[in-house]
Amino acid sequence: MEQTDTLICITCPMGCALAVTHEGQTVVRVTGNHCNRGPRYAQAELTDPRRMVATTVKVRGGSKPLLPVYTAAPFPKGRIFELLDALRRLEVDAPVRADQVILANALGSGIDVLASRDMA
Ligand code: SF4
């Protein structure tokens, strides 16, 4: 049975309001999108929603106590709290370079967590 839900596309700052008609996890049609990334976003939201994650981890011997980090790719939404918990328990040694891998293959996802900046 078809069902229509409204989603806000977060792929770009336009933030189009998408009317997504779907049968289960299969998108039937999408309206309200200003480009063809909208339907792709809608399909991903139904089957494998993901988000970029940015947070901080503790640093030993750094110029600041916390290092900003980010996921190299959008991370499975359902496991974000698990990832944040793992990063909360992590402590890295200074110095750190921007884009250095801080946590490789986070939670077996194939996605690395990287440093957002240098830390002397
Ligand atoms: S549908 Fe296209 S234009 Fe609209 S928010 Fe998504 S990416 Fe941006």
pLDDT at 29: 97
State in Å: Cα 74 to ligand 1 middle. 17
Average pLDDT score, the chain: 97
Ligand 1, residues at Cβ distance < 6 Å: 9, 11-12, 14-16, 33-35, 37-38, 41
pLDDT at 31: 98
Q: Give the C-alpha distances (Å, rounded to integers) separating 115 from 71, 85, 93.
A: 9, 17, 12
Q: Which domains does the chain have, with CATH numbers?
A: 2-47 (no CATH), 54-115 (3.10.530.10)
Tens of pLDDT, residue by residue over 19-30, are 999 999 999 999
Report yes or no: 107 and 67 within 8 Å, Cβ to Cβ: no
Lateral strand order in the sheet of 101-103: 91-93, 54-60, 66-71, 113-115, 101-103
State in Å: Cα 82 to ligand 1 middle. 29
Query: Residues in the chain with pLDDT < 70?
Result: none
